[in-house]
Structure 1
Amino acid sequence: MMKTRLKIYCGVILCCGLAAGCSTTKNLPEEEVLYTGIKEIDYGQKSKKKAKKKAKQKEEEGVITSLADAYKAVDDLLTQRDLSVLKRKEELTQEQKDSIAAVQRIEEEAYETAKEEVDAALAYAPNNALFGSSSYRIPFPTGLWIYNALVGKKSRFAKWLFDTFAGTPVFISTVNPKTRALVAQNTLRNYGYFNGTVDYEILPEKNPKKAKISYTVRPRNLFRLDSIAYLRFPAVGDSLIRETFRQRTLFSGDPFSVINLDAERTRIYNMFRNSGYFYYKPEYITYRADTIQRPGFVQLQVVPADGIPASANKRYYLGRTTVNLFNNDSYELTDTLQFRDYTLYYDGGKKGKIPLRFGALRRNLFYRKGMLYRQDIMSFVQQQLSEMNVFSTVNLKYVPRDTTALNDTLDIEITGILDKPYDGEFTTKVTSKSNGQIGPGLSFSMSKRNAFRGAEKLKFEVHGSYEWQTNSTVQGRSSVINSYEYGTSLSLDYPRLIFPGARKFSRRAKTSTSFVLDATWMNRANYFGMVSLSARAAYTYQARPTIKHEFVPFRLDYDELLSTTATFDSIMNVNQALYVSMRDQFVPSMRYTFTYSSPRKARNPRTFIFEVKESGNITSGIYAAFGKPFNQKDKKLFNVPFAQYIRFLAEFREEFRLTPRTSIATRVGTGVIFSYGNSTAAPYNDLFSVGGANSIRAFTVRGVGPGSYIPGASAYSYIDQMGDFKIEMNAEYRFPIVSMLSGAVFLDAGNVWLLDADVNRPGGTFDISRFGKDLALGTGLGIRCDLDFLVLRFDVGVGLHAPYDTGKSGYYNMPKFKDSLGYHFAVGYPF
């Protein structure tokens, strides 16, 4: 039945296309012309047949500046009056050459910035645009065919087809090139091209119902800033401007830019608001410009606007604080507490207990009575109160002490409604783990907010998952690895640092402390069953939005193999390093992670992560204090060996945004682990591997390395393809397809290596002379479905080079194309 319907739908759509005669204009409104894209945007650098000489003359005059303009700029900079005698470049001094180069560089950068914005103002995608392009189209405009075949049809089925598959035509009137040209012209002026013009021409095609648009942009000369003066500000404001003068965004010689003017206005506004001027607004700052005194330059004055109210020029101080603390099920305030300059109103119920201890609230109030109002501090207070995770809503209100002209005090009123104390969550999800395995997972958690009336969060969770991996391998074997795990965890989170003297570190910083107990039982099919127990304490510290520190001063892991298979035992028997990494052992460790993320508004967001983890040194140090050498092997903790190693990991990511919906995402990562003292090998879970859905997608999980080592005949010998040293590089071009679907073209490279030679894994050590050959290389295509709350991803990787002997010579050494494919279904972006 379903197949029959599908055939009917396809047949109807095909008939609609044929009925329309493959026409995209047959049933368009009479007065409309179909827009088929931008023919060109001419910036005066392309000559036209009818005016070659004129265009050449314009080009010689220069879109940005001519050499004569540069000479004049040098004359202005060096205060020399006669450079006309310097006919040849070699007659210029080095200082003059550097000045010319500097001026040209500034103006070229200004031109590129303005050009990018003008292109964006003129861009408009036609029907069936290729990846959102304004100039290139897909050759089969199915949506327009269906529109012309079914527009005006009244049958229910025709309406359904029309609403589902028809594409709304984009008309010339929709694009409105006149308005777009005016917007682009204003954009030029916003970037200092005051004499710039933008014209357009509608170019009819053979079919008079279709037309393209051509734009002609003439930036002409760029105006730059000359003198900059800050005038008429009150004495205190003038002093503040002078004190922060180095932070200004306007400099003599820079191109005129409305963006920079807005940035300077915002800077001054924030400076005033952070200095007590509570009622100050950005519109109270204005500019006066003169372009007559010096041609090509702008003499700028930054001045207060007319009619500023008296309250805006007054500095205000903070007064008393009132807190209204409402329960989630009651809006009555029956009890009162007074703490110095703070008054707390709340509903204590029958027992009269305060629902949130004042100390927990007070830790987030980073101000005191009598201090000047500061916008940055009070905004941070608002943020901290919201992130306590005990309020459903919380807000701050500033109330003038009185209405007299002499009043300079603002009292603070904090109103918060406590959230419901208990939160249960049952989740069904698809997990994508760092080892590349994916599968369905279930979890149930129960949390109690404000567990001990100090904004703590107590959480208990049970979880389980089933994981599989399906990929082809270079050798042509299919690998289906089924595993499952289940576990439980108990955590206690504090929205502050918990250690003596922690308050001074928490000032104006986002901090937290976590204590966690974990227990996980794992089964890896055909290999082993293992239990892992873990206890840890973790601190996070974030004084700035872009930088985050995480420190785990104590973590103790215990791994015990509950069962093994003959296959696993055979691997362990021939690989001593693997045996050491997988044996029963304690892992006492500390870890520090530094994360830098660029501001949210950054055009090309970037992230840098650095992590260092050490294990066993403190324990070995304690043993050394009692007479056992630091480097002695096989020392034990509770009669079980413990690991000793240090591990470094670094990763850099940057996304280059080409258009609002297209970008190139890149990642470079490396890591190294040194085992010493009590260990000859690090624990298995801390070793490095590559391959899989979030790594080199043409290869399976742990399907590469170490080095040029190739595993034996077992389809499951992936388990020992781990290394002490890792390098990985990824690049991915992301583009929209339609609606919530987007695509990607990617290139992945990387491998892992051993630091010490292993006779059981020949070719596994790092050799710089073989570095290029040892890098596994793969490419491929992917589709993403962005559901806002979840991103589903399907990638097909294609192997280009395997670092080991595949029986085929040359750099492209894939034996068969079908055997070089890797299929990955995952959740979220790979990086």
Structure 2
Amino acid sequence: MRNKTTKIALFILSGFFLYSCSVVKRVPEGEHLLEKNNIEVNGESKNDDALKDQLYQQPNSNILGYNLRLHLYNLAKPDADSSYKAWLNRDPERHDFLKKLLSEKQVQRFGKSFVVSGYSNFLKKVGEAPVTIDAVRVRKSANRLLAYYYKQGFFRTKVGYSIDTLGGKKAQINYKVATGKPYVVDSINTYIETPVLDSLYQTTQKNSLIKKNKQYNESDFVEERERIKTYFKNRGAYNFEVNNISYVVDTVNTNYKANVDLIISNETIRNEDTTYAQPFKLYKISQVNIYTKNLADKSQKIDSTSYKGFKIFSTGKLNYRAKALTDPVFILPGEMYADSTRSLTYKYMNNLRIFDYPKIQYVTDSTDVTGESLITNIYLSPWKKFKFIASADVTHSNIQDIGLEGSMGVSIRNVFRGAEILNLTVRGNLGSSSDPDIADRSFFNIQEYGADAKLSFPRIFFPIKTEGIIPKSMIPSTLVSFGISRQQNIGLDKENFSGILNYNWNPKEKVTASMDLFNIQYVRNVNPQNYFNVYNSSYDKLNDIANTYVSAVNPDYFVENTNPNQDRQLIIENGTSAFINEVTDGTIAVSSEDKRSVRSIEERKKRLTENNLIAATNFTYTTSNQENNTDETFFVFKTKIETAGNTLGLLSAITDNGKRSSSGNRTILDVEYSQYVKGEVDFIKHFDLRRGKVLAMRAFFGLALPYGNSNSIPFTRSYFAGGSNDNRAWQSYSLGPGRSGGLNDFNEANLKMAYSAELRFNLFGQLNGAIFGDVGNIWNVFDSQEDPDYTFNGLSSFRDLALGSGFGVRYDFNFFVVRLDLGFKTYDPGRPVNDRWFKQYNFSHTVYNVGINYPF
């Protein structure tokens, strides 16, 4: 044992020695690789990212402590082309042979090929050169630390530094900062040359970011300048700019106090070679002109019309209702100029999706003798009325060996002259499957086809006015859509009809609200008798039970069997249905456990083969603080509430007089309708760890409760676990419910909990990597399922949370990301209690997930 321990220790020490040597492979003699930056502030060690960002030199990037990019760089030859030439010159006969075989030109070009130098150049490009300590940059870093604290009011800061060599061509830099006592804002005096701006400032002075007795911070002064500029420009000061605001800060002999003078100068006018100053004016909007086409085209007559104070010009007949053009405009005649109204107009116009990005210009109204009026000109360039859309794709799934998918459609803009958009689409899929359960043995034996119609309005489409509740500043829109599809494949061959009336608006910036007033879906199973051909696991369970009591089962229920040593097979559908009926009514005596299993199989079959009529209303609220696509420190919070069946319950009582089906449930037009309430919470949080590293997390909770006319949730509205955007160690529908072990072909339930964390990092170039952990499961609760393995039973069910972990790579194409994740079952609740950790944790049981964009 001692010998083994010694060998292991020697192996580890050898590995560390080789690793240490390899990272300094390209460090020149006399120089040192930067191993670490230590920052000490007032005697306390600091590790703040804001402080590290002040330093001109950072250690080489690493992934979990391993300098991958540095090692890639070190693998490259320093001067591959010169090495090649030296190799040629060492043996003249070699050079002559290659010249005869190729040519002198090709021999020289070979030195620049990928085989000789291209490979090394590639490694240098994707790799990272060793960061060696540069004394000049160290001094610059110290000066930046000095400036960093100076801007925060520490005007007497002192910064020192030292370089400690660590051996093996490595060293670390120690920065020591002594900030001293901070300065505090004392007196604040204002000097505003323009009287109207002085009056405006008095109304907003209480909101100033610069306050007496507050520690001096340069960022407060920068943000206060921007705040004042925004305030003035939203109240008529059209020509006002941030450079009209300046400060004078006195700190001489003030005992750590800063006396601030705020100065707002007059407007500077430049007229040819003459420059002079004059007081700022507050402008009003005297006229708003909207141009819908290029008026430079003199071949067409210019037409004009007036509507609620707006003037609308067009070449030829106006193709839009006046209201459709004026509703998105927030710049109103007679009101003060405001930057905010221009921004809202840009946003609303762009949201219409029928014009190019609008152009808004302001010119002085020459008819106003006071010179305090502006004319607004809005230029709109319409898109083409018709846009044809076509797409095609080749697909593969666990059902289809190969599939051809395509769609064709047309987008018609300004359908009713109110900036509406109508989208008409037909879609289809032809697939080939070798599954033995498909009777059709032709090559393309799977097909699905459908059509969709979507009509969008740039306003709330409702019988009564909603402006008081949802003003147009919230950019409201309405979407009416209808869809129909038919599916013919290994499944139950479904027909699907849907209709949605959706409203969407933005209550605040970065907040979105969406409501489906009506979300109607009718799913009809064309071949319910094919159930046991599709759900093989249910059939196998039922068949095993039938073979347990084979002597009591009518032989006619089985397929004729010529081999007495093999289990007999129930006939689908006659044999399976007859056996289930005789077990449930007691004709065939079975154990209580087997009877419960048969009933469970029958309930699941009934639920998945029954036609569904769902009429739901839902509301979704989403908020985020993400600034832009490059912002990696943000959160997204989304919550949704949905109810279904209440309206249909009322209609059923009126139209069918409370008519009920054979199962006792109420119907409308002879179809049982679903009733449930469903709530979801989804939270995503990203942390920017700097230098290409991001920690992303997601938490999800969803619960759907059946009531009234339902004792379970429709399959299309239930939850499943597993897949590329969920727990990646399990395939879709293969996890849960609870600790059941995913025994069914398609496992679903009405309660779901999920949590995922993913560390993302750059490998090199556009290639990124990730390591992740996914926790979650689904359960049945308050529905028809009673098996404790499937149901949520309080705190004890948290032991049924599955844990998957793994790693993946992503390639960023800028406009989308392609990713591959490898998931491993780390904790499997479907296994026995003492046999759940790290079973099947190997590449032979890896679950591969391919997806577009990040999972959350």
Give the TM-score of the pair, scaled to structure 2.
0.75
Q: Match of 1:444, SS?
A: strand
Give me the whole-angstrom Cα distance separating, in 2, the residues matched to 1:464 and 1:363.
39
Which one of 615, 638, 641 corresponds to residue 609 of structure 1? 638
Alignment of 1:668-747 (within 5 A): 668-712=699-743, 717-719=744-746, 721-747=747-773
- Distance change >3 Å, CA 597–CA 33, structure 1 → 2: farther
Give me the whole-angstrom Cα distance separating, in 2, the residues matched to 1:794 and 1:686.
28
Q: Match of 1:122, SS?
A: coil
Give me the whole-angstrom Cα distance separating, in 1, the residues matched to 2:644 and 2:736.
25
Partner of 1:141: 71
CA deviation map 1:375-429 (0-9, x unaligned) = 1112111221222212124210000113988310000011121122222233346
Give me the whole-angstrom Cα distance separating, in 1, the residues matched to 2:206 and 2:403.
55
- Distance change >3 Å, CA 342–CA 732, structure 1 → 2: same
* Count of residue pairs brought into register by the alignment: 714
CA positional deviation for 1:146: 2.3
Identical aligned residues as a percent: 20
Q: Match of 1:344, SS?
A: strand
The letter for the 2-side match of 1:220 is T
Which one of 778, 796, 814 corresponds to residue 839 of structure 2? 814
Partner of 1:189: 150
CA deviation map 1:209-235 (0-9, x unaligned) = x67562514141352533352512355
Q: Which runs of no fewer than 5 residues in structure 1 stay unpaired?
A: 1-20, 45-57, 64-110, 470-481
Alignment of 1:46-61 (within 5 A): 59=43
CA deviation map 1:410-467 (0-9, x unaligned) = 000111211222222333468999x9x9998533332122233321111122334689
- Structure 1 residue 42 corresponds to structure 2 residue 42: no
Partner of 1:100: none
- Distance change >3 Å, CA 280–CA 218, structure 1 → 2: same
Give me the whole-angstrom Cα distance separating, in 2, the residues matched to 1:517 and 1:242.
56
CA positional deviation for 1:671: 0.9
Give me the whole-angstrom Cα distance separating, in 1, the residues matched to 2:240 and 2:460.
36
Give me the whole-angstrom Cα distance separating, in 1, the residues matched to 2:344 and 2:505.
15
- Structure 1 residue 160 corresponds to structure 2 residue 102: no
CA deviation map 1:242-262 (0-9, x unaligned) = 433454333444433222221
Partner of 1:122: 55
Give me the whole-angstrom Cα distance separating, in 1, the residues matched to 2:766 and 2:853.
14
CA deviation map 1:152-174 (0-9, x unaligned) = 46623234334333357466569
CA positional deviation for 1:668: 0.9
CA contact (8 A) 2:659 2:666 kept: no
- Distance change >3 Å, CA 484–CA 662, structure 1 → 2: farther
Q: Match of 2:346, SS?
A: helix
- Distance change >3 Å, CA 308–CA 811, structure 1 → 2: farther
Give the TM-score of the pair, scaled to structure 1.
0.78
CA contact (8 A) 2:266 2:279 kept: no
The letter for the 1-side match of 2:481 is V
CA deviation map 1:87-113 (0-9, x unaligned) = xxxxxxxxxxxxxxxxxxxxxxxx88x
Partner of 1:586: 613
CA deviation map 1:28-54 (0-9, x unaligned) = 7xxx9867335322315xxxxxxxxxx
CA contact (8 A) 1:33 1:211 kept: no
- Distance change >3 Å, CA 575–CA 661, structure 1 → 2: farther
The letter for the 2-side match of 1:196 is T
CA positional deviation for 1:485: 4.2
- Distance change >3 Å, CA 244–CA 789, structure 1 → 2: same
Q: Match of 1:382, SS?
A: helix
CA contact (8 A) 2:728 2:774 kept: yes
CA positional deviation for 1:119: 0.6
CA positional deviation for 1:814: 2.2
- Structure 1 residue 513 corresponds to structure 2 residue 510: no
CA deviation map 1:63-95 (0-9, x unaligned) = 9xxxxxxxxxxxxxxxxxxxxxxxxxxxxxxxx
Which one of 269, 272, 286 corresponds to residue 232 of structure 2? 272
CA contact (8 A) 1:227 1:299 kept: yes
Which one of 367, 374, 378 corresponds to residue 331 of structure 2? 367
Alignment of 1:371-410 (within 5 A): 371-402=335-366, 406-410=370-374
- Distance change >3 Å, CA 333–CA 759, structure 1 → 2: closer
The letter for the 2-side match of 1:608 is F
CA contact (8 A) 2:185 2:215 kept: no
CA contact (8 A) 2:829 2:836 kept: no
Work out which structure has the larger RCO, using CA pairs closer than 8 Å and 6 or more positions apart in sequence.
1
CA contact (8 A) 2:683 2:699 kept: yes
Partner of 1:322: 289
Could you say which structure has the larger radius of gyration?
2
Partner of 2:678: 647
- Distance change >3 Å, CA 146–CA 386, structure 1 → 2: same
Give me the whole-angstrom Cα distance separating, in 2, the residues matched to 1:184 and 1:332.
66
Alignment of 1:92-241 (within 5 A): 115-122=48-55, 124-125=57-58, 129-131=61-63, 137-138=67-68, 141-150=71-80, 152=82, 155-157=111-113, 158-167=116-125, 169=129, 176-200=137-161, 212=171, 214-227=173-186, 229-233=188-192, 234-241=194-201
Partner of 1:445: 409
Give me the whole-angstrom Cα distance separating, in 2, the residues matched to 1:668 and 1:251.
40
- Distance change >3 Å, CA 388–CA 228, structure 1 → 2: farther
The letter for the 2-side match of 1:268 is I
Which one of 776, 801, 814 corresponds to residue 802 of structure 2? 776
CA positional deviation for 1:508: 1.2
- Distance change >3 Å, CA 393–CA 39, structure 1 → 2: closer
- Distance change >3 Å, CA 36–CA 635, structure 1 → 2: same
- Give the superposed CA RMSD: 3.7
CA contact (8 A) 2:186 2:259 kept: yes
